[in-house]
């Protein structure tokens, strides 16, 4: 598995519009890319988001980067200040849960 992480600084007051644009326009495109395993967008600050994308291979990541780069150029540049900070590489260790959270744990959070 190969993962790409990008951190974006957004123009003040544009975070919600950017997230909506990603959800409505980019996510449906990504769902059709062979080799993509996961895409997540996290809010990490008032005007910052982090995007984590996982792929089967580095080649899959490169193919997706071309498509996403075109999308960002066309649709998202009005939201983003400067350039994304990028980290990418093969996943060397991981853990994934295979069980559902317990009902008791869910009730404690309500």
Predicted confidence (pLDDT) at residue 12 exceeds the cutoff of 80: yes
Domain that holds residue 24: 2-92
Please check whether residue 99 lies inside any domain of the structure: no
Which two three-digit tokens encode residue 81?
Answer: 């200040």
Q: In this predicted model, what pLDDT tens digit does every residue of 51-91 receive, in sequence order?
A: 999 999 999 998 888 888 788 888 888 999 988 888 898 98
> What is the percentage of the chain residues whose pLDDT exceeds 90?
50
Please check whether residue 53 lies inside any domain of the structure: yes
Q: Which residue has the higher pLDDT, 107 or 73?
A: 73
What sections of 1-110 are H helices per DSSP? 15-21, 27-30, 58-71, 103-108
Say what the pTM is. 0.80
- Give exposure, 33-63, as e/b (b: 16+ Cβ within 10 Å): bebbeebebeeeeebebbbebbbeeeebbeb
Please check whether residue 83 lies inside any domain of the structure: yes
Please check whether residue 11 lies inside any domain of the structure: yes
Task: Give strand pairing partners of 40.
Answer: 52
**pLDDT band at residue 20 under the 50/70/90 scheme:** very high
CATH of the domain at 16: 3.30.70.100
Predicted confidence (pLDDT) at residue 102 exceeds the cutoff of 90: no
Please check whether residue 103 lies inside any domain of the structure: no
Report the domain count for the chain.
1
Please check whether residue 105 lies inside any domain of the structure: no
Please check whether residue 109 lies inside any domain of the structure: no
Q: Residues 41, 22: contact at Cβ < 8 Å? A: yes
- pLDDT at position 95 is 86
Please check whether residue 10 lies inside any domain of the structure: yes
């Amino acid at each position: 598995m190969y993962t790409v992480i990008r951190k974006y600084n957004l123009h003040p007051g544009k975070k919600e519009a950017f997230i909506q644009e990603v959800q409505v326009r980019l996510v449906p495109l990504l769902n059709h890319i062979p080799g993509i395993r996961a895409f997540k967008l996290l809010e990490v600050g008032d005007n910052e988001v982090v995007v984590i994308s996982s792929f089967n291979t580095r080649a899959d990541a490169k193919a997706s980067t071309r498509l996403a780069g075109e999308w960002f150029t066309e649709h998202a540049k009005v939201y983003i200040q400067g350039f994304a900070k990028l980290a990418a590489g093969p996943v060397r260790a991981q853990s994934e849960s295979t069980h559902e959270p317990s009902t008791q744990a869910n009730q404690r959070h309500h």
